[in-house]
Structure 1
């Protein structure tokens, strides 16, 4: 088959056929037109085969701006002369819109962002082309709906092909499948009952009266990442706040900690949580409580009433579905957004977020200022409720603390610049200050057009130990390497982990040097040494900082934050691009990281990176162990 090269920008006068390949396996049929890989970085320009993920990487800044603009426009859609934002006003000058999954755009909860970004990229690619036929190979029902409707409206012939799912017959009685088919209001009822069952026992927490009012600083976080010391179980230590806790104690700052309960292996239920909390409260200078500990029948009734209100409003604004269009080619995104939209307004997500709103209002009901407040900023829905309630009561300055890395495609942290106008009705809730932990996060927020007068710099509390270890390790890295130790960090997604290790296996025949492979799997996705015998893996569960001390090269998936740890150690990082999801590497856009998608790229990177450990690089985090920036922010002597 003879193919002619097509110029992507100059095909206006030529009609062409398009094939979109939405599978990770590269088994494309013979095709005379242009092929676009939806989940693959592979390209062969001479054969007219192009990569949508690669296009996204090359045009990531304008595409992210388009996405943010699109979400902004959704909020401004008018139905009966009233915007969606104003329709969802659930409290005076506070819209529930800011608590929806569409606004949150959380890659850990929703998947629609990946599809929307890829469709925005496809829109740019197709704009100006004269397309006569589109062939879509995809098992994604929503994707097929979007492309089919686009072709129907534009007079383009559409051909759809999909692999039959052989697992359907085996999972017909799967409870998750049954739950997924339930009406949203039934899912809401189930979520309501499950949440009450989870947190009702937290009412047994015993707190001295008036302690929140007597405090100088109120801190909101998760009852998670605790350092539970068996020798001193009554001492509160947190991986979120690390050394700052002792700084506050030594300065005799009266703190009140409001923890959001998270059930996990160490604290599986409310009984265990209350027991640990009582131990923490032996220290009179700090009081710990559960945010959900104030739950009562009044909170239940208010939450139920708010749910009925939002559910009723959803019925009035259901025509929102007719306006979910992209700007240029008018792709109808409703099939992709539908689940998150309805779940946010009448499903389980709606119930959870309304519980947070009412619980926060209950906690702060009798609090007056002046006081400082801090919370872990991940731009989740509950944070909007906190900011609104805190500011409506005029308690004092509220600081959002960005405790981890800020990834380019973590869309929780980025919004259209017009949303930062706090003077309009039902404006997006913003903290008084956002505390950023390093040069990388500062650069990301500036590029995201975040108001500069709301940014302050603080030390990266979660990475202080890494900073000290990195100083020591760099002194010992000037050695001749005979066998390079490659430390592998894998993903929480099994399919991505398999792809990452299969790519490494395929690169082995191309390696001319000797390597030893050490693997630390993600806790949610175990990997066993016997699964990839040719790699002769050594699997360890040790802390990251311990494993990094002996590593010469780090090989990661594109989502793990461990790549930032390796960067701080001065160790070269190689990250695999899977094409399935957006590039969520915290090092995207940084120097001294190599992204690979083929075995040739991986083998070249492995052999090139040996010995490149001592290059000076700009600090990723602020790591002053004296915490002078924190002391200045909190006015601690």
Structure 2
């Protein structure tokens, strides 16, 4: 709602408490519901999403090119004589919504800037317990020459404030040294356990992959079959391709710890079947490598001092003055905190691994846009290896800005330019949309099948038949974030009394986030498990969060999906923008969606070729058997 934008006073309300009875137009920082004439900032974000995202990417590009003493920020963050700049690993460039809430806050502030420019209020009041939000809105108003007052909401728990205060007492350099020690201790189970021999034949293919999405029983028995690369192993054998695998470890339900991962890899390598050569990235860590990372970190500290200019009024693009209070803490962590040490460790370990490899004609890696990927690409190039292809293994969400880089950033060459893959795989509708959004050159795209979603090949869209007993059956799809899952279930509990028909619930929990029924006494649900495409026939609708990809599976199988929107977050759903998918921000919205689906008023959206699927993997076969590998000179600049 924007009817009140002409009001002389804006009240930016960032609080979970009830609004006070003030004159003025309320702009709610959180929530998608618009009541009492207020404007939901998150709904405004949805309406103006492309413009806001473009402004965000422009700010990052212009900030990196901003100069301090005649040198760009990119140049000042160079790591010795490596030719690599830590800028590309910074939180500002990564823009991850997984690690912190900063990205979503930046998006809100850009949206608020647009609202204020449109409404032209005479005064602004911001109510928030977060000092960075109060400071950012005050700076915004100063820039727009609008008087601004700030108030604390006074509802933030004492424990939250106390933990933040305690953490702030630990100096960042101490946090950095602690990160180094933690890394060294974690890697002890696999230190020095290198492959017996890398394959150096002309037919060898390198793959950088996460050691996960495995069948634990199969892996423990020495058989490697990661769902990240499902079906590709047979193609390797038939095409005569030998493989060198560099696996990085991430804790999961499949692989609980590094020692287990190491044990399984030993058994996989000992298996008489040809499954390629496998080694954990962490095995390249050593006391010498730790010392190299520490030395580089120490040497870089003096060069970081001039970067304090980012806090100076008037520095950089206009948006920077507004956003600085929000990004400041993470930026300082990038310069001299735990994150700064982790940057150096990632770079050093990838240099060691890529330097140990014999020349590789081509490499594939799981592409997520994570900060450490830039260190890997740089190390790959520095070691003189061949073509590098990034493979998105999941859907690319509109607001997963890790995948999005401004076109100017991508095309800018020279020293310390952005490390980028030579080509990217396009394997879904969302990948195609993301590539198009940033002007990614078609010559740098290679179309291949989506391996991780191969299980959808044989899925037949079911016909929706109402339950004969009149009970409305809901499949609840679990969310990996426990707090979000609790909020999602609380909304469901608040919705049930609004319905005039009987409802039956079943819950498929996320494998990394179990849900206990005793934690939700107001809900009665049955726990279910198994492949989603095998479950959908028993239900009338799926209730999904905006943070899980499971909704895609059930939608393609023919089950209507209603997506819960987190009051505190952006719309991160893979299904965002698809007609016929319900997005709900309140119990009333959810009740209305259920009623419409039960009445047959909501047709299923038609999504032809959401994923590129073919059991024979002809596109992958074509890529792997290319007679020549494209050179950098043959293709435009890469990157997304």
Instruction: Give me the TM-score of the superposition, normalised by structure 1.
Output: 0.90
Name the CA shift for 1:461/1:99 in 2 (closer, same or farther; >3 Å): same
Q: Secondary structure at the match of 1:131?
A: coil
Residue among 49, 69, 84 paired with 2:58 = 69
Partner of 2:159: 168
| 1:78 counterpart = 2:60 | no
Whether the 8 Å contact between 1:198 and 1:269 is mirrored in structure 2 is: no
Q: 1:138 aligns with which of 119, 122, 128?
A: 128
RMSD of aligned alpha carbons: 2.8
Aligned residue in 2 for 1:16? 8
Give the SS at the match of 2:126.
Answer: strand
- What is the rounded CA distance, in whole Å, between the counterparts of 1:601 and 1:387 in structure 2? 45
Give 1:269-284 correspondences, 5 Å limit.
269-282=257-270, 283-284=273-274
Deviation (angstroms), 1:372: 1.0
Whether 1:386 aligns to 2:376 is: yes
Tell me how far apart the structure 2 counterparts of residues 327 and 614 of structure 1 sit (CA, whole Å).
44
Alignment of 1:25-174 (within 5 A): 27-44=18-35, 48-90=37-79, 91-127=81-117, 129-151=119-141, 154=145, 156-168=147-159
Paired position in structure 1 for 2:367: 377
Supply the distance in 2 between the matched residues of 1:257 and 1:231 (Cα, whole angstroms): 15
What does residue range 334-373 of structure 1 map to in structure 2 within 5 Å? 334-367=324-357, 369=359, 371-373=361-363
Matches of 1:602 and 1:324 in 2, distance apart? 46
Unaligned runs of 5+ in 2: 628-640
Q: What's 1:591 paired with?
A: 579
Q: What are the equivalent positions in structure 2 for 1:602-617 lying under 5 Å apart?
A: 602-610=590-598, 611=600, 616-617=606-607
1:486 to 450, 467, 474: 474
Distance 1:184 1:407 in 2: 33
Matches for 1:217-616 after TM superposition, within 5 Å: 217-230=205-218, 233-264=221-252, 267-282=255-270, 283-284=273-274, 286-322=276-312, 331-367=321-357, 369=359, 371-468=361-458, 470-471=459-460, 474-475=461-462, 477=464, 482-610=470-598, 611=600, 616=606
Structure 1, 116-125 or 561-570: larger mean CA deviation:
561-570
Displacement after TM superposition at 1:508 (Å): 2.1
Which stretches of structure 1, 4 residues or longer, exceed 6 Å deviation after superposition?
A: 323-326
Mark the CA change 1:318 to 1:157 in structure 2 (over 3 Å): closer, same or farther: closer
* C-alpha contact 1:259 1:288 (8 A) present in aligned 2: yes
CA distance in 2, matches of 1:557, 1:620: 19
Q: Is the 8 A contact 1:218 1:257 kept in 2?
A: yes
Q: Check conservation: 1:486, 1:517, Cα contact below 8 A.
A: yes
Query: Any unmatched runs of 5+ in structure 1?
Result: none
C-alpha distance in 1 between matches for 2:167 and 2:29: 30
CA apart distance, 1:396: 1.2
* Closer, same or farther: CA 63–366 of 1 in aligned 2, 3 Å: same
Q: What CA deviation, in whole Å up to 9, does each residue of 1:126-158 have, x standing for no partner?
A: 115443432222121211122234456736141
- CA separation of 1:328 and 1:362: change in aligned 2, threshold 3 A: closer
Question: How many residues are treated as equivalent by the alignment?
Answer: 620
TM-score, normalised by the number of residues in structure 2: 0.90
Task: Sort the Cα spacing of 1:622 and 1:166 in 2 relative to 1 into closer, same or farther, 3 A.
Answer: closer
Instruction: Give distance in 2, aligned partners of 1:168 and 1:31.
Output: 29
- Contact 1:242 1:462 (8 Å CA) reproduced: yes
User: How far has the Cα of 1:264 moved from its partner?
Assistant: 4.3
1:436 shift after superposition: 2.1
Partners in 1 of 2:483 and 2:316 — Cα distance? 30
Deviation at 1:361, TM superposition (A): 1.2
Distance in 1, Cα, partners of 2:57 & 2:528: 40
Quick check: 2:203–2:240 contact (8 Å CA) kept in 1? Answer: no
Comparing 434-443 and 405-414, the one that deviates more: 434-443
